[in-house]
């Protein structure tokens, strides 16, 4: 029994580590190819066949066999520890990142918040590396990094709040499922404010993972190589695995929050499932079909995340690096006010057009969301709570616009919200805000 527990945990960890490591392998190769093409070069062409796609592996072997140097006067323990701190933080964010509907290592209720919090820890690796190297270039890089990351966390958090506001939940799995259906359901197309929010989010995300034009911490033209000047060999490569890992995390987070996550622009699997159901077949509920649909969803998410990473590469090889004062100005004078403005704008938009600008008939899709939530909640309760929970009532097509987010988000906790509904008349406005179903 305890062995099974360890094996299960080990498989999860191994899968996620593979995602990070293989992702870094591919992205580093991609970065070389993209940068080469942008600069009218060929990039790697020899290792591993036609496109040089094994170049990163060859580099990895070279890095492992290199000498592991430590500068004189460095703080040994911190110097050795720093790359692992960076990598662990980048890796830990994957724990709460869903890759498809329900395909997540730990379906946290505060997944968005958790990912932001853990990504903020990555800066420690950089700061410690900069301090422990006993080199002024490294220290300058670390100082810039600390100032930059701490400031960009604020507008990034405000941008992330917008989809959370629309969905009414911080659970990434639910946020992704609420955008099921055609691409018009994606939050980036929800209203003009979310579109602006996405742009600001991506700017802040680029800054927070230290990519050009915000890569002040490793500005080659001024600081030799910034915080990793003194690193060599495999320790050096850990910083890059962390960087590419967190690049994918912020891109996948953008995909889930704004671009429908694992739902493609055209709901092919949903249409197939409804066509099968209409023809009287029960194939649509077959586990293999569900698995395949989820797998297609995962490919969707990986594609969107990779596209985000390629977009960052495009930015890096196109735009010149900013100065540190321009970076701070960008954050405090542009990103922060714009994100505050869009947050208020989205709130007003939700109040003015609660069903969206063009109300779409989304009954079938909406009903499906209810189903999924109910099942997952029941399972969750069966696993973790000894007390059986009340059955979640599924209202069949009673409302024309079931994709109204506030209601669905609260629907998963009728048992906890019930005391408010029946307390006192003074609580009435709050009850109206929460929209507790009276039937409970």
Q: By C-beta, is 19 or 81 nearer to another protein? A: 81
Task: Please say which residue, 19 or 110, places its beta carbon nearer to another protein.
Answer: 110
Considering beta carbons, is residue 15 or 77 the nearer one to another protein? Answer: 77
Task: Tell me the DSSP string of 201-225.
Answer: HHHHHHHHTT-TTS-GGG-HHHHTT
Q: Rounded to whole angstroms, how far apart are CA atoms 17 and 92?
A: 10
Query: Least CB distance from residue 412 to another protein, whole Å?
Result: 8
Phi, psi of 103 (to 5 degrees): -90, 80
Q: Which is nearer to another protein, 25 or 123 (CB)?
A: 123
Radius of gyration of the chain (CA): 24
CB contact at 8 A, 412 and 377:
yes
- What would you measure as the largest C-alpha separation in the chain, in angstroms? 75
| Nearest distance, CB of residue 172 and another protein, angstroms | 12
Nearer to another protein, 139 or 301 (CB): 139
Give 124 or 186: the residue with its C-beta nearer to another protein.
Answer: 124
- Minimum distance, C-beta of residue 26 to another protein, in the bound complex (Å): 29
Nearest to 26 by CA among 63, 51, 1: 51
> Rounded to an integer, what is the distance from CA 3 to the centroid of its chain?
32
- Per DSSP, what are the bridge partners of residue 100? 103
Q: How far is the CB of 178 from another protein (least distance, A)?
A: 16
Unique residue bearing structure tokens 């930059």: 148
**How far apart are CB 220 and another protein at their closest, in Å?**
22
Q: How far apart are CA 221 and CA 50, in angstroms?
A: 33
Question: Can you give the binding site for another protein, defined by CB under 8 A?
Answer: 1-3, 5, 75, 77-78, 81, 106-110, 113-114, 116-118, 120-121, 123-124, 127-128, 130-131, 139, 142-143, 146-147, 149-151, 153-154, 170, 328-329, 332-333, 336-337, 380, 383-384, 386, 410, 413, 416-417, 419-420, 423-424, 427, 430, 433-434
C-beta of 370: minimal distance to another protein in Å? 18
Q: Which is nearer to another protein, 99 or 182 (CB)?
A: 99
**Closest distance between another protein and the C-beta of residue 360, in Å?**
28
The C-alpha atoms of residue 411 and residue 177 are separated, in whole angstroms, by 15
DSSP result, 135-198: -HHHHHHHHHHHHHHHHHHHHHHHHHHHHHHHHT---HHHHHHHT-SSGGGSGGGT-HHHHHHH
Nearest to residue 249, comparing CAs of 121, 125, 154, 144?
121
Question: What SS3 class is residue 100?
Answer: strand
SS3 assignment, position 62: helix
**228 CB-near residues (< 8 Å, 6+ apart):** 129, 138, 141, 218, 236, 239
B/e letters for 392-402, b = 16+ CB within 10 Å, e = fewer, are beeeeeeeeeb
Q: In the complex, what is the shortest distance from the CB of residue 166 to another protein, in angstroms, rounded to a whole number? A: 16
Q: Decide whether 36 or 88 has the Cβ nearer to another protein.
A: 88
Instruction: Find all residues with CB under 8 Å of 421, minimum gap 6, and list them.
Output: 431, 436, 438, 440
Which residue number, 387 or 398, has a Cβ lying nearer to another protein?
Answer: 387
Please tell me the distance from the alpha carbon of residue 170 to that of residue 160, in angstroms, as a whole number.
10
Residue placing its CB nearer to another protein in the complex, 310 or 434: 434
State the minimum distance, in angstroms, from the CB of residue 164 to another protein. Answer: 10
What is the C-alpha to C-alpha distance for residues 99 and 299, in angstroms, rounded to an integer?
9
Token pair 């507008």 in the structure block, residue: 155
Q: How far is the CB of 60 from another protein (least distance, A)?
A: 29
Identify which of residues 17 and 95 has a Cβ nearer to another protein in the complex. 95
Q: Please state the closest distance from residue 123 (CB atom) to another protein, in A.
A: 6
């Amino acid at each position: 029994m305890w062995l099974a527990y360890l094996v299960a945990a080990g498989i999860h960890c191994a899968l996620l580590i593979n995602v990070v490591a293989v992702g870094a392998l591919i992205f580093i190769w991609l970065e070389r190819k993209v940068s080469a093409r942008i600069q009218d070069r060929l990039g790697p062409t020899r290792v591993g066949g036609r496109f040089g796609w094994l170049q990163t592996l060859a580099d990895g072997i070279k890095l492992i066999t290199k000498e592991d140097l430590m500068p004189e006067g460095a703080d040994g323990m911190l110097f050795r520890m720093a790359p692992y701190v960076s990598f662990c933080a980048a890796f830990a964010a994957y724990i709460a990142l869903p890759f498809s509907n329900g395909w997540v290592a730990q379906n946290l209720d505060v997944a968005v918040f958790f990912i932001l919090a853990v990504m903020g820890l990555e800066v420690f690796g950089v700061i410690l590396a900069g301090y422990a190297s006993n080199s002024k270039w490294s220290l300058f890089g670390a100082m810039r990094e600390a100032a930059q990351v701490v400031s960009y966390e604020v507008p990034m958090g405000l941008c992330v709040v917008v989809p959370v506001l629309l969905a009414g939940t911080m659970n990434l799995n639910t946020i992704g499922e609420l955008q099921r259906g055609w691409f018009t359901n994606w939050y980036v197309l929800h209203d003009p404010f979310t579109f602006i929010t996405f742009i600001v989010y991506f700017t802040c995300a680029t800054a927070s993972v230290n990519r050009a034009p915000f890569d002040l911490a490793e500005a080659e033209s001024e600081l030799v190589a910034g915080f990793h000047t003194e690193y060599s060999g495999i320790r050096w490569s850990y910083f890059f695995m962390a960087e590419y890992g967190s690049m994918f995390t912020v891109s996948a987070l953008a995909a889930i929050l704004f671009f429908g996550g694992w739902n493609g622009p055209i709901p092919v699997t949903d249409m197939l499932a409804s066509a099968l159901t209409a023809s009287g077949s029960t194939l649509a509920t077959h586990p293999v079909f569900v698995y395949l649909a989820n797998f297609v969803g995962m490919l969707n998410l990986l594609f969107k995340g990779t596209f985000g990473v390629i977009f960052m590469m495009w930015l890096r090889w196109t735009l010149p690096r900013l100065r540190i004062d321009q970076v701070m100005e960008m954050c405090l004078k542009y990103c922060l006010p714009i994100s505050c403005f869009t947050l208020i704008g989205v709130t007003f938009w939700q109040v003015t057009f609660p069903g969206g600008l063009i109300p779409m008939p989304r009954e079938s899709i909406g009903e499906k969301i209810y189903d999924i939530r109910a099942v997952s909640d029941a399972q969750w309760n069966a696993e973790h709570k000894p007390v059986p929970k009340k059955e979640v009532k599924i209202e069949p097509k009673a409302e024309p616009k079931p994709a109204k987010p506030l209601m669905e988000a609260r629907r998963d906790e009728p048992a906890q919200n019930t005391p408010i509904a029946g307390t006192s008349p003074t609580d009435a406005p709050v009850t109206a805000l929460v929209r507790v179903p009276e039937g409970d």
